[in-house]
Amino acid sequence: MKLVSFCCVVAVLSILPADAFSQPVQLVNAFPNLTFTYPVLVTHAGDGTNRVFVVQQNGLIKVFQNDSAVTSASVFLNIANKLSSTGGGGDERG
């Protein structure tokens, strides 16, 4: 499935005009009123509820409405007590 997606992206990119990539890109904060701690994944519910989930490296999964004016996110799942940040010699936190 991933290979098919990649092939589709390559096919689309190959039909775009050469100057399509010379335009400046502007990044916009989709949820300017929210902050997250070490986010590692952003996804949607996929069930028609218009919810967005943010998985944080510290073991929290936050959920909120897919609206740029949203001002708060709730904890959907907290598995922080199941994570270990010691040992291994690295700086991994989740």
Distance (Å, rounded) from C-alpha 18 to C-alpha 89? 47
Asked if residues 67 and 34 have their Cβ atoms less than 8 Å apart, the reply is no
Over residues 40-79, the pLDDT tens digits come to 999 999 999 999 999 999 899 999 999 999 999 999 999 9
Distance (Å, rounded) from C-alpha 54 to C-alpha 75? 10
Tell me the average pLDDT of the chain: 81
User: What is the reported pLDDT for 88?
Assistant: 54
Question: Edge-to-edge, what's the strand order for the sheet holding 39-44?
Answer: 39-44, 51-56, 60-65, 74-78
Asked if residues 55 and 44 have their Cβ atoms less than 8 Å apart, the reply is no
Measured CA distances, 79 to 46, 48, 57, 91 (Å): 22, 26, 10, 19
- Say if pTM beats, i.e. exceeds, 0.85: no
Between 3-7, 32-36, 67-71, the lowest mean confidence (pLDDT) is in 3-7
**Alpha carbon 74 to chain centroid, angstroms:** 16
